[in-house]
Structure 1
């Protein structure tokens, strides 16, 4: 087996993971880099491999190691996997290492964590402008809770949902009735009838 025979594998991995990873083929017998693709570390073919621990690792019979952490001179952190490629006699012929730069993924993780941070309560002064968002959240939460679509809500469900909307102050906003009717998929007259019953008998059990 020669480095040329392994070149398509190294190049394919480098293309797939570019620009976030380098792929290195080591020659453990010569203890040097046999080939390298997308060299994030700045190494070149012929540079020392520094695989002095290979004999100790290979004694276990394992051929794949990692992922394990590594660090570049500029401080970037890598996640690395190494695969021992053995010759016909069972001795390590080459070691193929894939080193993935974690920088982009860690930045993405921080960005997503920032978006997932707890949202503070909505300022009351802004409620008048954002009551439609509150309407949508309450209706969406209710149908998820009930496990049905808005169209399949029963009269009892609609009375309970209107009670929640009324308690949240949605129905006290100007021009809210048409929006609530649309959200509940009912007519305005039906909404007024349900609302009258909700406000008249808030603790009643509608038939």
Structure 2
């Protein structure tokens, strides 16, 4: 699988560069290698998210990694960067000839200026209320970074913000629910995630492993001491249970 996946990634490099050159500076094309989940960016052309080769995947990439070979393509979705840029994106899962998912081909377009023009035109033709409603529609903020720890931190902070409480104010059921939602995002598919989540929440690594283990036992899943790689192999979670 490795040699076939490597050949596909190599073949997509000129495609990524050509597509980014054609669409200009409002476009970024990224090829991810899920076999390197902590630094999955294998090819990048254009610069909208500030990442370089070896950079981290976003929360969307983590979710695809979690789903493994069943991961679907994600087409024509909109996200917002922490700096406020609006991105329209499509992510196509890369597979070997036997159907094994090993990466993703992503196209990001900066539509911030187009969105502003749309709102201006709406005002000029007298449909300002509709434009305002569209502008106020909920668009998820996605963290793009070269450091996977930044992505993990953002996922934890986002869920705590959604709950409206900090960890110390949560009862056990709410804490279990928080870990279940984190697990569902795919955060724990990357190494070092459990210790990082523990540090972000201000709890011990042992407590974090215990909560994740309990959540997965309730769901009938594998415990936090193991994770499944895109190749279907099981490897130990870095950091142990200390």
Query: TM-score, normalised to structure 1's length?
Result: 0.51
**Equivalent residues of 2:69, 2:100 under 8 A apart:** no
Residue correspondences, number: 117
Matched, 1:37 2:51: no
The residue correspondences of 1:166-177 to structure 2 (distance < 5 A) are: none
Residue 57 (structure 2) aligned to one of 39, 49, 53: 49
SS of equivalent residue, structure 2 residue 109? strand
1:74 pairs with 2:80: no
Q: Residues 98-118 of structure 1, C-alpha deviation per residue, up to 9 Å, x if partnerless?
A: 111121111221232233128
Aligned equivalents of 2:119 and 2:52: distance in 1? 33
The residue number in structure 1 matching 2:125 is 116
Structure 1 unaligned segments of length 5 or more: list them: 119-207
RMSD value, Cα: 2.1
Shift of 1:14: 0.9
Larger Rg: 1
Select which of 9, 21, 32 maps to 2:27: 21
User: 1:22–1:40: 8 Å Cα contact kept in structure 2?
Assistant: yes
Alignment TM-score, normalising by the size of structure 2: 0.44
Highest RCO, 1 vs 2 (Cα 8 Å, sep ≥ 6) = 2
SS at match of 2:113: helix
After superposition, the C-alpha distances for 1:67-107 in whole angstroms (9 at most, x for unaligned) are 22222221112121100121122112320111111211112
Segments of structure 2 that go 5 or more residues without pairing to the other structure are: 1-6, 128-242
Counterpart pick for 1:5 among 11, 17, 39: 11
Deviation at 1:59, TM superposition (A): 4.8
Q: How many Å apart are 1:57 and its aligned residue? A: 4.0
| Contact 1:27/1:49, CA 8 A, preserved across alignment | no
Aligned-partner Cα distance in 2 for 1:110–1:21: 22
Residue of structure 2 in register with 1:101 after alignment:
110
Q: How far off is 1:38 after superposition?
A: 0.8
- How does 1:46-195 map onto structure 2 within 5 Å? 46-50=54-58, 51-60=61-70, 62=72, 64-117=73-126
